[in-house]
Amino acid sequence: MKITAVLLAAGQGTRMKSELPKVLHALCGRPMLWHVLNALQAATTEKPVVVVGHGAEEVRRYLADSAECVLQEPQLGTAHAAMQAEPLLRDKTDLVVVTYADMPLLRGETFRQLVETQHLNAGPLTLLTVVADDPRGFGRIVRKADGTVEAIVEEYVATPEQRAIKELNVGAYCFQADWLWDALHRIEKNPKKGEYYLTDIVEVAVKEDLPVQAVVHDDFIETIGINTRVHLSEAEAALRTRINREHMLNGVGMMDPASTYIDVGVRIGKDTTILPNTYLQGNTEIGEWNVIGPNTMIRDSRIGDRCKVLASVLEGAILEDDVDMGPFARLRKGAHLKSHVHMGNFGEVKDSTLHEGVKMGHFSYIGNATIGARTNIGAGTITANYDGEKKNPTEIGEDVFIGSDTMLVAPLKLGDGARTGAGAVVTKNVPDDTLVVGMPARAIRKVEKKPRKPNH
Ligand code: UD1
Ligand code: CA
């Protein structure tokens, strides 16, 4: 059985007031479009077809080869949009799931239920409905006496009695493919709006005396559709709640889920605790028994087990086990902290490896460097890695002691067991087990004596 999704994403999304196509606006780290496609994947067997129109180039670029794209130009309504998939899909699939790209909270499970119901339906289509008190402008579902669906009535044409109906059209349909394509051609142009409405396909079936089934949903949240940025923020909050709940049920601790912002796809091991105001973004993986936050932002990074990350920012970094960092530490791309590294406040590490047990307590910048195991980096140490043209490497051995405020002028090598005095400016390589100091402060001139002021 071949099941193919057709996703309608050609509309303008005027109410977003944005240059970005509506379906590319993101929730929890991924565009709306991604969420719908991801859910559809659970219920379909073939590559999805996305109907593009407004912002077609950008949407196509985003989709790359994850979907087939067909262009709807001009946009003459949802039935007209679905019709654009016919040349690609006629005689190629058994069932077609049609849905709208502005419904990012629908779950794979819901689509699967829709498909299963259609599978058992003698008629040509099944649609998804929700029963809710707030109609939000959705089409109303009119039922026949036998319980099958008679029509979907759009709000602006509904009679007062129809407006009072609480069963609403969500905008997800499963069709018998060999019926769909011809039925689409039978839909007439809406006389008021001059568009072809997919919702009118119900009447096409009813006129042919074919039964239309509905899967009735009761989770109002799942059916939030996005027309404005207000809806987008509501949907994102709902999705965040869903993501956080799932992590907690898998053993992740959260003191305040409402202020814990985790992108879809982030992996976290059990017994890790995430403290408030923490952002875990992109392709991030976190192991077990860590304490992350509060006030921490981690993007595209990997963290082992038993680490502590307090009020810090990590991007493209790796932390092995038992690393302890922050508050106010920053790791940039290529920072690799091996196990038992300690990094205190106001440090920055970029493109560098700190081997086991390195200590870097206060106010340091380490860039393009390798630091050997157990080495101590004194407060205020800087790798002067940039000469105005290129980045130069610094290589520091094991068990080295770097005195406070040392300037390491790269390219530079310090051997195992080397030591530098406080304030040293090191411009030449240092052999193993050697102490270097300087430049010492020199007297320049006498300072004029001034009368001492009283203390207050
Ligand atoms: C639609 C339904 C309504 C349902 C609601 C639920 C119709 C006529 N109405 O209304 O019954 O309750 O969704 O969310 O279908 N699109 C195209 N090409 C077009 C027009 C639209 O691709 O020519 C796409 C849009 O990009 C959007 C989707 O179809 O993703 C739905 O269109 P929209 O205008 O948002 O429909 P609603 O007014 O929300
Ligand atoms: Ca909509």
Are 239 and 28 a contacting pair, CB within 8 Å? yes
Token digits of residue 339: 């196990």
How much is the average pLDDT of 432-439?
Answer: 91
pLDDT at position 360 is 98
Mutate to test the pocket of ligand 1, among 100, 140, 222 (most ligand atoms within 8 A of CB): 100
Ligand 1 atom at minimum distance from 51 CA: 22
181: number of Cβ within 10 Å: 18
Sign of the alpha-carbon dihedral angle for 78, 169, 34, 32 = positive
Which whole number is the average pLDDT over 70-84?
97
What's the 102 CA to ligand 2 centre distance in angstroms?
6
CA of 226 relative to ligand 2 center, distance in Å = 6
Q: Give catalytic residue positions.
A: 362
pLDDT exceeds cutoff 80 at 456: no
Q: Is 224 in the pocket of ligand 1 (CB under 6 A)?
A: no
Rounded to the nearest integer, the mean pLDDT of the chain is 96
Residue from 312, 344, 345 nearest 331 by CA: 312
Tokens 């790359």 belong to 64
At 442 the pLDDT is 66
C-alpha 143 chain-centroid distance = 40
Among all bound ligands, the one having the nearest atom to the CA of 197 is 1
230-272 pLDDT per residue, tens: 999 999 999 999 999 999 999 999 999 999 999 999 999 999 9
For residue 76, report the distance from its CA to the centre of ligand 2, in Å: 15
* Residue minimizing CA distance to atom 11 of ligand 1: 139
Q: What would the pLDDT profile of 326-381 be if each residue is shown by its tens digit?
A: 999 999 999 999 999 999 999 999 999 999 999 999 999 999 999 999 999 999 99
Question: Is residue 40 within 8 Å of residue 63, measured between CB atoms?
Answer: no
Q: Determine what percent of the chain is predicted with pLDDT higher than 90.
A: 92
Question: How far is the C-alpha of 63 from the C-alpha of 7, rounded, in Å?
Answer: 12
> Please, are residues 40 and 111 in contact by the beta-carbon 8 Å criterion?
yes
Residue range 186-221, pLDDT digits in tens:
999 998 889 999 999 999 999 999 999 999 998 999
Is there an atom of ligand 1 within 6 Å of 10 CB?
A: yes
- Closest ligand to Cα 223: 1
Percent of the chain with pLDDT over 70: 99
pLDDT of 88 above 70: yes
Ligand 1 pocket member 75 (CB < 6 A): yes
- Please tell me if the CB atom of residue 55 comes closer than 6 angstroms to any atom of ligand 1: no
Question: 8: CA distance to ligand 1 center in Å?
Answer: 8
Q: Rounded to the nearest whole angstrom, what is the distance from the C-alpha of residue 138 to the centroid of ligand 2?
A: 8
Residues 282-325: pLDDT tens digits? 999 999 999 999 999 999 999 999 999 999 999 999 999 999 99
Answer yes or no: is the C-beta of 173 below 6 A from any ligand 1 atom: no
Please name the amino acid found at residue 290. Answer: N
**pLDDT tens figures, 139-176:** 999 999 998 999 999 999 999 999 999 999 999 999 99
Q: Is ligand 1 within 6 A of the CB of residue 76?
A: yes
Distance 244 CA to ligand 1 centre (A): 30
Q: Which of 108, 211, 157 is nearest to 116 (CA)?
A: 108
Q: Which two tokens stand for residue 134?
A: 């707030």
Cα separation, 310 vs 329, in Å, equals 8
Does the predicted model carry a pTM greater than 0.85?
Answer: yes
Between CA 327 and CA 344 the distance in angstroms is 6
| Residue 135, ligand 1, Cβ within 6 A | no
What is the C-alpha to C-alpha distance for residues 393 and 376, in angstroms, rounded to an integer?
18
Q: Whose CA is nearest to atom 12 of ligand 1?
A: 138
CA of 33 to the centre of ligand 1 (A): 14
Those residues whose C-beta lies under 8 Å from the C-beta of residue 343, and which sit 6 or more positions away, are 323, 324, 325, 326, 329, 337, 349, 354, 360, 361
Nearest-atom number in ligand 1 for the CA of 13 is 26
Give 12-46 pLDDT, tens digit per residue. 889 999 999 999 999 999 999 999 999 999 999 99
Atom of ligand 1 nearest to the CA of 102: 30
**CB distance 132 to ligand 1 below 6 Å:** no
Least Cα distance to 113 among 194, 9, 219, 195 occurs for 219
* Nearest ligand (C-alpha, residue 78): 1
The pLDDT of residue 441 is 54
* Matching residue, tokens 């899967």: 215
Q: Choose which residue among 8, 73, 136 to substitute to test ligand 1 binding: the one with the highest number of ligand atoms within 8 A of its C-beta.
A: 8
- Cβ(153) to ligand 1 under 6 A? no
What would the pLDDT profile of 373-411 be if each residue is shown by its tens digit?
999 999 999 999 998 899 999 999 999 999 999 999 999
For residue 226, which ligand has an atom nearest its CA? 2
Q: Is the pLDDT of residue 440 over 70?
A: no
Residue type, 416: D
Q: Which ligand is nearest to the CA of 224?
A: 1
261 CB under 6 A from ligand 1?
no
| 8 A C-beta contact, residue 224 and residue 106 | no
Measure 51 CA to ligand 2 centroid, in angstroms. Answer: 15
